[in-house]
Amino acid sequence: MIQICLNCLLLSALLLLISIGLNIIYGISRVVNLAHGSLYALGAYFGYSMVSYGVNFYAALLLAPLLAGLCGVVLERLIIEPIRHRDMTYTLILTYGLSVFIDGMFKFIWSDKVQFIQMPSSLRGTLNLFGVHYPNYRLFVLAATVCVILGLLALLEKTKLGMIMRAASTIPEMVSALGVNMKLVHMGVFGLGCVLAGIGGVIAGPLLSVYPMMGSEMLLSCFVVLVIGGLGSLRGAILASLLVGTAQTLGFVFLTDFAMVIVYLMMAVILLFMPKGLLAEGKFD
Partner 1 sequence: MEKAIGNKKDRKGLVIQALVLLALVLLPFVLGNKFYLRLVTEIIIYGLLAMSLDVLLGFTGLLSFMHAAYMGIGAYTVAVFLSYVDPGASIWVTFPLGIAVTVVLAFAAGWLQVRTGGFAFALLTVAFGMMYYTLVWKARSITCGDDGLCGLPKPDISLGPIVLGNMNDSLTAYFFTLAVVAVCFFVTRRIMHSPFGAVLESIRENTERASFIGINVRNYKLMGWMLACTLAGISGVLFTYMKGSVSPTLMDARAGGIVLMMTLLGGMGTLWGAFIGAAAYIFLQDFISAMTENWMVFLGLAVILLTLFMPKGLADLPIRLGQRLTRQRSNL
Partner 2 sequence: MRKGLAVCISVLLVLTMMPLRPAVAADPIKIGVVVTLTGMAAQLGIDNRNGILLAAKHKGTILGRPIQIITEDDEGQSETGIRKAEKLVFKDKVVALSGVTVANVGQAIAGEADRLNVPFLTTNVMTPKFYGLHPLVFRCGQVADDQMTVAQVMGILKDPDLMKRSWYVLADDYAWGHSCAEEFIKLATEKGIKIKNPTYDNAALNLVDWSPFVSKIISAEVGGVYACLRSPVAPRFVQQAADFGLMEKVKIIGGTPSEAALEAAGESVVGLIGTCCWTWDIDTPKSKAFAEAYWKEFKEVPPSQGAQAYTGAFVLFNAIEKAGGTDPKKIAEALKGATFEGPYGEVRISPKDNCMRTPVKVVVAERAPKNPFGAKIIKKVVASLTPEEVGPAE
Binding positions for partner 1, rule: CB under 8 A: 32, 79, 82-83, 86, 88-90, 92-94, 96-105, 107-108, 216, 220, 223, 227, 231, 257-258, 260-261, 264-265, 267-268, 271-272, 275, 284-285
At residue 13, the 3 state secondary structure works out as helix
Residue 213 binds which entry of partner 2, partner 1, none, with Cβ cut-offs from 5 to 8 Å by kind? partner 2
As a whole number of angstroms, the distance between CA 210 and CA 44 comes to 6
Say how far residue 182 (Cα) sits from the centre of its chain.
23
Query: Which CB sits closer to partner 1, 151 or 275?
Result: 275
Query: Which CB sits closer to partner 2, 48 or 190?
Result: 48
As a whole number of angstroms, the distance between CA 274 and CA 186 comes to 28
Query: Which CB sits closer to partner 2, 137 or 190?
Result: 137
Give min distance, CB of 83 to partner 1, in A.
7
As a whole number of angstroms, the distance between CA 173 and CA 54 comes to 48
CA distances from 57 to 50, 51, 61 (A): 8, 6, 6
CB 193 within 8 A of CB 36: yes
Residue 98 binds which entry of partner 1, partner 2, none, with Cβ cut-offs from 5 to 8 Å by kind? partner 1
Residue 105 binds which entry of partner 2, partner 1, none, with Cβ cut-offs from 5 to 8 Å by kind? partner 1
Give min distance, CB of 48 to partner 2, in A.
10
Query: Which CB sits closer to partner 2, 180 or 259?
Result: 259
As a whole number of angstroms, the distance between CA 216 and CA 218 comes to 5
- Interacting residues toward partner 2 by CB under 8 A: 3-4, 6-7, 10-11, 14, 107, 111-116, 118, 125-126, 133-135, 137-138, 204, 206-209, 211-213, 217-218, 220-221, 249-250, 252-253, 256-257, 259-260
- The alpha carbons of the chain give a radius of gyration, in whole angstroms, of 19
As a whole number of angstroms, the distance between CA 51 and CA 60 comes to 7
